[in-house]
A and B are shown apart, each in its own frame.
Chain A
Amino acid sequence: MKVVSRDGLAAWLDSLAQQKTLVAPRDVDGVLLYRPVASSAEIVWDYTRPVLSIKEAFFPATERLLVIEKNQQRVELQETLPEGEQVIVGVRPCDARGVKALDTLFIETEPVDTYYARRRANTTLVGLACKEMGETCFCTSVGGAPDDPRDVDVMLAEVEGGYAVQAVTEKGEALLAGLALQDVPGEPPKPVLNEPVPLPETEAWPPHFDDQFWEDMAERCLSCRICAYVCPTCRCFDVRDEALPAHNGHNRYERIRCWDSCTGEVYRRIAGGHNPRADKGQRLRNRFFCKFYYYPQQVGSAACTGCGRCIDSCPVNIDITEVMHHLAEVSR
């Protein structure tokens, strides 16, 4: 394996931070988040996973789509596309899997989402293998692994004296140019794995659409949006025009899209007031069906990477692995 010392890695990251936006896990007032860092010293290396996934870096909570300038009957539109290259360091394999799942929707399924695609093309992912799985992690049950290098450009794994470095893609290769690596015999240590959770077959879902189970589980659901917003693959959004300060005496607006979640009460409510998913049981069911049935049917990739964030942050213990266990059991 190729190995870089801690100091060597830090120096390389510091030089990267001079050229591009460097995003990495950082302690923000006691909350671990992927955030831009000015130097490698700000990076936290020992963690299970940040509270939010890296989807923010591609699909930000608020994104401007257009700027609209209106002067009486005259309208001008400006397309606002994201610029600038970013390198994200310390990406967990489950998060990288999440980006892959978003790629299948935003890029691989026509039409391409211009904004997402632009950010994706301008980003290099440097992964960091997990030494062990967190308490709520189940990536191995949904086709991933704590040291899975498939979805990153460069993979790091902690070894004695530094990090083992693996260039996975050409983009990763290019990024590594100039980093002094040492050939060391051996392999990074294998991560410690959790007991797997049974993954129900895709076909197991539709027959259980009408089960009482959903309503029972949703009874304690608060219809907040934590699960969707911490999720590496949830990508529902809302679009609206909002006012900007006037410009040259003309009204100015921006068309924005913002995160939204199918668990929210008004998610499907239409202007006339009709809400086909007024019950929280219907909404929670939709979320789980989307993860394991709808999304795979629609774009061909599963929408759960086993990161366990929704389990960790749900205030009322709605546990996706409990759903998987249940489905596996009733469909056996």
Chain B
Amino acid sequence: MPYTTQIQDKARELLAGDQVSCVIGYEVGSRGRTRPAFIYDPDDVERLVWNQNCTHNLTTYLQDKLRPDRGQSEEEPRRVAVVVKPCDSRAINVMLAENHFAREQVHVIGVACDGILEGAGFGKATEGVLQARCERCSERTPVVYDTLIGEAPEVETSDEAAFADLADLEAMTPSERAEFWLSQFDRCIRCYACRQVCPMCSCPTCLFERDDSLWVGMRIELNEKRTFHLGRAYHLAGRCVGCDECERVCPMDIPISLLNRKLAKEIEVQFAYRAGEEPVPSPIITILSGEEG
């Protein structure tokens, strides 16, 4: 049975049985572009699809959808279902570790993923050309799911591949790297799409956008843009799951994921920890185990 049908059937079952109030999945929107869809009615499940353009990390909508309404009883928290790829599923673990919601509030429909096409979501996908993150990816089964759609293909795992493209930059001198990043950040327009699309960027008011922020001013200029990007990368250290949506949505093609992967590598080297593989918090936001007190 095609993945699409399986997802639709599961969604229908969950909605009809009142197990969840909403299924967050994918649909094909205008101009044939795949986009996020929110299904509340079992009769609407036919909108749901699965294809190689399902690039969005839908877990970014979870916190909003699971936030209790004012006056809502704690006994009956909201429950939703969400369609995830393996990379997206790691974000759920991070959010669980940070207590953004409870495990039983989310029915995870995990999809065994063959990789997503470059240009997906913008109507520019080319058949057979995978996104860079998918080329690097060695994990084809979600790390957390309630329903698994499809079977995971055998993939050769290679730990080196994950950080291979950092090497070029790491080999540069500091001033060459500075020049590289300044020319990248120069294009930034502070549209905040990278932050808004990120499931981990969930502060009610971003530290870098407060009216009275002491850390970064309002100017859309180099100092501020760099501080925003470095600060955001730092805040994601040990939390970023590498879905690379930040990089995909950037209208100015800034290679944001390089920063995130650099820190993922540091965390892995220093703490032998990869974000989202287990629902445990990032080592750098906790105290040294066994040494406290």
Contact = CB atoms under 8 A, between A and B. Distances in A.
Interface of A: 28-31, 33, 51-52, 61-62, 135-136, 219-220, 222-226, 228-230, 238, 240, 242, 256, 258-259, 261, 264, 266, 271, 311-313, 315-317, 319, 321-322
B205 interface: yes
Interface of B: 29-31, 33-38, 56, 60-61, 121-123, 183-184, 187, 189-193, 195-197, 205, 209, 211, 217-221, 245, 248-249, 251-253
Contacts of B196: 222-224
Given A29-B187, A317-B29, A319-B29, A220 B218 contact: no
Contacts of B38: 219-220
A61 B61 CA distance: 29
B183 A316 contact: no
Task: Please classify the interface of chain B as helix (H, G, I), strand (E, B), loop, or mixed, using the class held by over half of its residues.
Answer: loop
Contacts of A219: 36, 38
Contacts of A311: 31
B122 A316 contact: no
Contacts of B251: 51, 226, 229-230, 313
A220 B197 CA distance: 10
Nearest to B253: A31
Nearest to B198: A222
Contact of A29 (B33, B190, B249, B253): B253
Nearest to A60: B220
A238 B221 CA distance: 15
B189 A61 contact: yes
Contacts of B37: 220
Contacts of B60: 222
B62 to A, nearest CB: 13
Contact of A317 (B33, B187, B189, B209): B33
Contacts of B184: 29
Given A30-B253, A52-B189, A229-B191, A322 B221 contact: no
B219 A315 contact: no
B248 A62 contact: no
Contacts of A135: 31, 123
Contacts of A238: 218
A220 B36 CA distance: 6
A315 B253 contact: no
A306 to B, nearest CB: 15
Contacts of B30: 317, 319, 321-322
Nearest to B186: A28
Contacts of B33: 317
B82 to A, nearest CB: 13
24 contacts: A28-B187, A61-B189, A61-B220, A219-B36, A222-B193, A223-B196, A224-B196, A224-B249, A226-B193, A228-B191, A238-B218, A240-B217, A240-B218, A242-B218, A256-B219, A258-B219, A264-B192, A266-B205, A311-B31, A315-B197, A316-B35, A316-B56, A317-B30, A319-B31
Contacts of A223: 196
A223 B219 CA distance: 20
A266 B122 CA distance: 27
Contacts of B195: 224
Contacts of B218: 62, 238, 240, 242, 256, 258
